[in-house]
Amino acid sequence: MGVAIIGTGSYLPYLKLTNFDLENMVDTSDEWIVTRTGIKERRICPKGKGASDLGLEASLMAIKDAGIKKDEIEFIICATITPDMYFPSTACIIQKKLGLENIPSFDFQAACSGFIYGMEIAKGLISGCGYKKGLVVATECMSRLTDYTDRSTCVLLGDGAGAAVVSENEENGIIDSYLSSNGKYENLLFTPGGVSLKPSSFETIEKRENFMKMEGSTLFKIAIYSMSESVNKVLERNKIKKEDISIVIPHQANLRIIAGVAKNLEIPIEKFFINIEKYGNMSAACIPIALDEAVKNGRIKKGDLVITVAFGAGLTWAANLIRWVK
Ligand code: UT7
């Protein structure tokens, strides 16, 4: 028996924050944002809602798409850097909202690479631990970590959730995953305050340390290199030619990063699925949302070879090689 994705779902909150809205908030312009990043607008989770609410909607859609009953779900794993709260896990909260009980549910985080790591964890649970079907959810409220006085980061981020039902399957779908990280780059992308090292205090709030900090231009170069390396690794070790890849689902951090990866890999940019203009960077949620849109738009069909590839805080980077089985 193999392991495969049998259903996908995604959910974007209704509220939009456009480049023109941001022009009224910080010293920026639609022209700068579009030419430097490719982003036109992003979605914002309404007040009073959190990552579990977005994740729940994406999960319900993935379960429906898989054509299964929700009680067939035997585990829930959730990739998020913006959980509802420190604890309990957002996975447990989604479990409660789905009305499921007595199955393992837990969060893990690999920042923007989270969903790709999640595919490998789910595959391990199914092929090594006897589970049959599980839910991988990636849900992010990046707006909650965003400093809307910092023009170098606030134009980039948005909120959303994506989910996939992963199942044992006659044909193997999750063929291989390359996962990597290097903690020596922790200070290039991080939120310094608010947890155990620097708990929230007047000082952390005053210094805006509860918001994301980023060294954009250094990350930019590492992103292109590490995403290209991840794709090359999964292709090489599975002896797959670039021409055999139907579609690449890249992390949506910057259109110029995606173009740089395409150029490096010598894979035509047309093979990359791009939706960054609508949503910006939603960390771990980017890949499953793009995957779901690509499937629903007919860009992915049964038998296609799909590459997912991401890069993010940690730093982490990763790629999946997937055969679409439905
Ligand atoms: O999720 C994965 C992790 N994140 C990433 O991978 C992000 C990677 N980095 C990037 O996408 C890009 O580096 C950014 C979009 C963040 C920045 O683009 P850049 O082309 O690297 O710009 P820069 O940081 O080199 O800044 C160029 C100029 C600066 O002005 P001066 O010093 O040349 O006068 C910035 O102050 O652009 C200025 N700038 C802005 N101007 C208008 C920075 N942000 C803005 C802004 N609007 N929003």
Cα distance between residue 136 and residue 107, in whole Å:
10
Buried b (16+ CB within 10 A) or exposed e, 56-73: bbbbbbbbebbebeeeeb
Shared-domain flag, residues 130 and 196: no
Which pLDDT belongs to residue 148?
Answer: 98
Shared-domain flag, residues 62 and 87: yes
- In this structure, which residue's CA is closest to atom 21 in ligand 1? 217
Shared-domain flag, residues 168 and 204: no
Shared-domain flag, residues 241 and 118: no
Side-chain-side CA neighbours of residue 55 (13 Å): 34
Tens of pLDDT, residue by residue, the chain (326 residues): 899 999 999 999 999 999 999 999 999 999 999 999 999 999 999 999 999 999 999 999 999 999 999 999 999 999 999 999 999 999 999 999 999 999 999 999 999 999 999 999 999 999 999 999 999 999 999 999 999 999 999 999 999 999 999 999 999 999 999 999 999 999 999 999 999 999 999 999 999 999 999 999 999 999 999 999 999 999 999 999 999 999 999 999 999 999 999 999 999 999 999 999 999 999 999 999 999 999 999 999 999 999 999 999 999 999 999 999 99
Which pLDDT belongs to residue 177?
Answer: 98
Which pLDDT belongs to residue 230?
Answer: 98
Shared-domain flag, residues 219 and 285: yes
Shared-domain flag, residues 162 and 181: no
Give the residue numbers spanning the domain of 45: 2-172
Shared-domain flag, residues 204 and 287: yes
Shared-domain flag, residues 148 and 185: no
Q: Is 112 a catalytic residue?
A: yes
Shared-domain flag, residues 140 and 160: yes
List 112, 141, 154, 286, catalytic entry: 112
Q: Is 281 a catalytic residue?
A: yes
Which pLDDT belongs to residue 135?
Answer: 98
The CATH code of the domain that includes 32 is: 3.40.47.10
- In this structure, which residue's CA is closest to atom 2 in ligand 1? 312
Question: What's the number of domains the chain is made of?
Answer: 2
Q: Is 286 a catalytic residue?
A: no
Buried b (16+ CB within 10 A) or exposed e, 280-290: bbbbbbbbbbb
What is the whole-number distance in angstroms between the Cα of residue 74 and the centre of ligand 1? 43
Query: Ligand 1 pocket by C-beta < 6 Å: which residues?
Result: 28, 32, 36-37, 112, 151-152, 155, 189, 216-217, 219-220, 223, 253-254, 257, 281, 311-312
Shared-domain flag, residues 194 and 67: no
Which pLDDT belongs to residue 249?
Answer: 98
Shared-domain flag, residues 153 and 230: no
What is the whole-number distance in angstroms between the Cα of residue 157 and the centre of ligand 1? 13
Mark which of 172, 201, 231 sits at the end of a domain.
172
What is the whole-number distance in angstroms between the Cα of residue 238 and the centre of ligand 1? 36
- Sign of the CA dihedral with 205 first, then 208, 212, and 214 last: negative
Which pLDDT belongs to residue 16?
Answer: 98
Which pLDDT belongs to residue 271?
Answer: 98
Decide the pairing of beta strands 76-79 and 133-141: parallel
Which pLDDT belongs to residue 199?
Answer: 96
Which pLDDT belongs to residue 281?
Answer: 98
Shared-domain flag, residues 13 and 70: yes
Pick the atom of ligand 1 nearest to 112's CA. 1
